Structure 1
Amino acid sequence: MSRRYHGWWVVFCAFVVALYGWGFGFYGLSLYLVALHQKLGWTPAMISTGITFYYVLGAFVVMQVGDAIQRAGARPIVLTGMALMGAGVATLAVAREAWHLYLAFLLMIPGWGAMGGGSINTIVAQWFDRRRGLAASLALSGATCGGLLFAPALAWAIDSWGFARACYGAIAVMVMTLGPLAGLVLRPRRPTEHDIGDDGVTRATTGGEAKTRRELLGEPRYLTMVGAFSIGLLAQISFIAHQAAFLEPTLGLKGAGWAVSLTALSALAGRVVVGLIVDRVDRRGCSSVVLAVQAASMIVLLSTSSVAGLYVGCLLFGFGVGNLITLPGLIVQQEFPRRDFARAVSFNVAITQLVAAVGPSLIGLLHDLSGSYRTSLTACLVLQIAAAILVLVRPGPRPIDLPADA
């Protein structure tokens, strides 16, 4: 690594953005549900409806974030998103009426867009070409740490201090740490700044008008990529939502908790491993392998009832968690012009978020109809196999002839 290259400071800042973005805007949602149910007596169904509203409306905001960063720069977008995320969580802390819940989520939605996957990928892409896979994997490891570190800390604070004080404390920590870091680090890249081997690699592809979203949907290669990651994430998020419930009868609640932690640790390790090799291999092939490993995890979980077998299944499943939000941006870099990157990645994040949002409900319905999670896990297995095959389909010519190592 070039120690003097400012891009690595940007990666560190993006890691912190992802830590708080996923901590407050993704993993924190389940904590808000429990806290509001206990505090106000609101039913899980009522709160879950608000969460569905958050994901669905958020998808339309997410698809704009790449263009917004390219126009205004990363610094104002991230700082504004941080402020809105904090304001939304603070509103949840003082909520008393149902409409307060929706107001809070309306504030959090642009915060999630500015601190989520589309934003992180766009920020990293402004600083890295050849080593973008490693840089994006390191930056998005912050998302995994949002579940591994931030969410448990917030849960402890809620239990110890109460919901409102815990939220205020967490918001204060975010503002005091991320605010100055983003203000100092997220500056525009100077023309003279290049990472190792980046100078001149893709600069010739920056001209012309970026494709519209309609034109992107007319690209067969884009459709197979989006389709593969949509159904892959549908299966992944569905299992994560029901993982503890599936494991609890065999492992007990504490054992299920340890299995979830093992999944998160495996996700962090998997992201680092893939990041180290993805810049030197075919990215669609790498994606297919990741999805195949998750399919193997479903086979293990379906074929065993032993404690050790269940932990192995969770370990294998964790390997792909997180990589499915990193890999689409790397495929876009490899197959599309540089000018299309921000819009193509943000649009992919929005579509996959919309599709994946219905997964937990569908898997829950399959469980209720069949009386067990076996049918649900089989459905996840089928989706993962289909995604692993679909991502390898490359119809038509590449939209641009990029160098193989770009």
Structure 2
Amino acid sequence: MFRFAFRSLISQGGKVMAETKKSSAFFTPGWIQVAIAFVVAIVTQGFGIYHFGILKVPMTEALGAQPAEVALGFSIYALAAGFASLIVGDIINKIKLRGSMLCSAVLFSGGFLILGLMTEIWQVYVAYVVMGIGSALGGMVILSGIPNNWFNKRRGIATAIVWSAMFPGSLIVGQIIPAATASGNWQMAPFALAGIAFVVLVAGAFLLKWQPQEVGLLPDGMTEEEAAAQAEAAGAAKLVGLTRGDALKTTTFWFIAIAFALIGIGEQGPFQNFPAYIVGNGFDLAVAGAFMSAISLSGVVGKLASGVIIDAVGPRIAYCILNSLAVIGLILIMFVGDNIVLLFASSILFGVALSSSAVCFSAATAMYLGPKHFGAIYGFVFLGKPICDAIGVPLVAAISGTALGFSGAFGICAVFVAGSTISMFMVRKNKKLIEMEEEAAEELRAEVAAQ
């Protein structure tokens, strides 16, 4: 029934596109895809990233393990997600988006089930391998690809809306995990998250479409006449772009990839350790959960701001602006840890930049390397991020136990954020892609003239 309704809607959208010369209305069928991707992102990104910092506390107590041992679980999760992301584009080509999403439903929810049943530390690691692979198959590459494939002029705000789903995801885990822990049965939290994740991901498998061309549409709901008028729009309509092999030979790819990698330490390192930092300063777990939600709310503002800025001046400048604020925020947090009011206030600057990288780097990949092989290329662009996530989380935990403390750890992270910002500033659009887009525009103009 839902499938029939969706096809009817996109069919009507195709008729409107064919019958009109203009498509100036803001609403296009692509926004339906954005809405569905938003709900999926609540699970694979919101649950996947925000649950660990809160769940780590009761897991550490239940296992009687060292915090660094449990923190290794998130590193394993990040690495599994990162390396699995390398093949997501190829998997979509072989078994389609639906097949990838169904595999994600089984594995991602299965990882949470294992966490709820675990009694040994090695079982935590197994759970995060399974969950990480599941997250990749329904996460970063797909959730970044859909708005970038369905939009050209509005790809920034479309991508930002999808990634804003991390906020409701943080609210859900911020309520479920502390409530279950307070009741004396924290294991119920991963069980509940597993059930929600499975239902959402299965539904997403049947509702999401990878590219508008699959259903006879063009990005932004454009007509061919509109696409032919501008080279970049023509490139999006014709699906031009560098192959993965060609992209790997460009400085454009490497500057984006390096910037994405460095932010892993600078962003996730402190973020996943903030609850321990707050609890260590004498506040309880509920305050830590509220703090994480406050950062996430600031992140929504930052993501939406990054989307607007991207659509105005491009992802390079947007990223540099927002992550300069993150550096300032981290430096302030170093000095106000015992004052909860100032701590929350300082976290806004860090939160505004939090995960804006997902918006900026996906837009940069599509805009500067082309949309045709987005899935195959973005998996490689993304790889450095989870590797550095895996390094950053235990690194901050380890440094916090030395004489440097959390202040020293956060200061080191600020240096990595600054390095990421500089690398992104060096990115330029690939010249070969510019030529492809110009050729696509000429082809479209010829096709329109022939009609």
TM norm structure 1: 0.86
Rate the CA distance shift 1:198–1:56 in 2: closer, same or farther, 3 A.
farther
- Structure 2 residue matching 1:370: 3-state secondary structure: coil
Assess if the C-alpha contact under 8 Å between 2:294 and 2:348 holds in 1. Answer: yes
Match of 1:235 in 2: 266
Where do 1:20-169 residues align within 5 Å? 20-97=43-120, 99-157=122-180, 159-160=182-183, 162-169=185-192
Identify if the C-alpha distance between structure 1 residues 197 and 191 changes in structure 2 by more than 3 Å, giving closer, same or farther.
Answer: closer
Counterpart of 1:349 in structure 2 is 382
Separation of aligned partners in 2, 1:208 and 1:379: 37
| Matches of 2:120 and 2:280, distance apart in 1 | 36
Summarize deviations over 1:9-49 as a string: whole Å, max 9, x none. 21111111111113443222345544444445455444334
Equivalent in the alignment of 1:275? 307
2:395 pairs, out of 362, 368, 376, with: 362
Other structure's SS at 2:425 match: coil
Of 361, 377, 396, the match for 1:328: 361
Q: Deviations over 1:335-392 (max 9, x none)?
A: 1122232222221222111022111222233333334333223212222222222211
Please identify, of 289-298 and 68-77, the stretch whose mean Cα deviation from structure 2 is larger. Answer: 68-77
Change (3 A) 1:382 1:42: closer
Contact 1:75–1:187 under 8 Å retained in 2 = no
> Aligned letter for 1:260?
M
Structure 1 CA distance for aligned equivalents of residues 50 and 218 of structure 2: 36
> Judging changes above 3 Å, is the alpha-carbon distance between structure 1 residues 399 and 294 closer, same or farther for their aligned structure 2 residues?
farther
Say if 2:257 is the partner of 1:226: yes
Rg larger for: 2
Aligned residue type for 1:336: L
- Counterparts of 2:367 and 2:429 in 1: how far apart (Å)? 15
Letter in 2 for 1:54: Y
- CA distance in 1: counterparts of 2:95 and 2:336, whole angstroms: 52
Is the contact made by 2:275 and 2:288 (CA closer than 8 Å) also made in structure 1? yes
CA gap 1:360/1:100 in 2 versus in 1, 3 angstroms: closer
What residue in structure 2 maps to residue 293 of structure 1?
325
Percent of pairs identical after alignment?
Answer: 21
Counterpart for residue 11 of structure 1 = 34
CA-to-aligned-CA distance 1:177-202 (integer Å, 9 cap, x gap): 44335423447631235424475322
1: CA distance, partners of 2:254 / 2:313? 22
Q: Is the 8 A contact 1:66 1:122 kept in 2?
A: no
Q: Give me the whole-angstrom Cα distance separating, in 2, the residues matched to 1:187 and 1:204.
A: 14
Aligned partner of 2:159: which letter?
A
Any runs of at least 4 consecutive aligned residues in structure 1 with deviations exceeding 6 A, and if so which? none
SS at match of 1:130: coil
Q: 1:122 to 1:70 in 2, by over 3 A?
A: farther
User: What amino acid is the match of 1:375?
Assistant: G
Distance 1:92 1:386, change over 3 A: closer
Q: Distance in 2 between matches of 1:267 and 1:368?
A: 28
Deviation at 1:62, TM superposition (A): 1.4
Displacement of 1:139 in angstroms is 0.9
Q: Which runs of 5+ in 2 are unaligned?
A: 1-23, 228-232, 442-451
Residue 406 (structure 2) aligns with:
373
Q: Is the 8 A contact 1:251 1:307 kept in 2?
A: no
Deviation at 1:321, TM superposition (A): 0.5
* Amino acid in structure 2 at the alignment position of 1:328: F
**In structure 2, how many angstroms separate the alpha carbons of the residues matched to 1:245 and 1:32?**
11
Instruction: Give, as a single letter, the amino acid of the residue that structure 2 aligns with 1:243.
Output: F
What is the distance in 1 between the residues matched to 2:386 and 2:154?
Answer: 26
The unaligned stretches of length 5 or more in structure 1 are: none
Cα distance in structure 2, aligned partners of 1:106 and 1:249: 29
Cα distance, 1:275 vs structure 2: 1.9
Q: Name which of structure 1's ranges 232-241 and 30-39 shifts more when overlaid on structure 2.
A: 30-39
SS in 2 for 1:289: helix
Aligned counterpart, 2:294: 262
Higher mean displacement: 229-238 or 31-40: 31-40
Of 367, 382, 391 in structure 1, the residue corresponding to residue 415 of structure 2 is 382
Query: Do the aligned partners of residues 343 and 263 (structure 1) sit closer, same or farther apart at CA in structure 2, a change above 3 Å counting?
Result: same
TM (normalized to structure 2)?
0.78
CA 1:180 to 1:238, structure 2 compared with 1: closer, same or farther past 3 Å? closer
Q: Say if 1:72 and 1:258 are closer, same or farther in 2 by CA, change over 3 A.
A: same
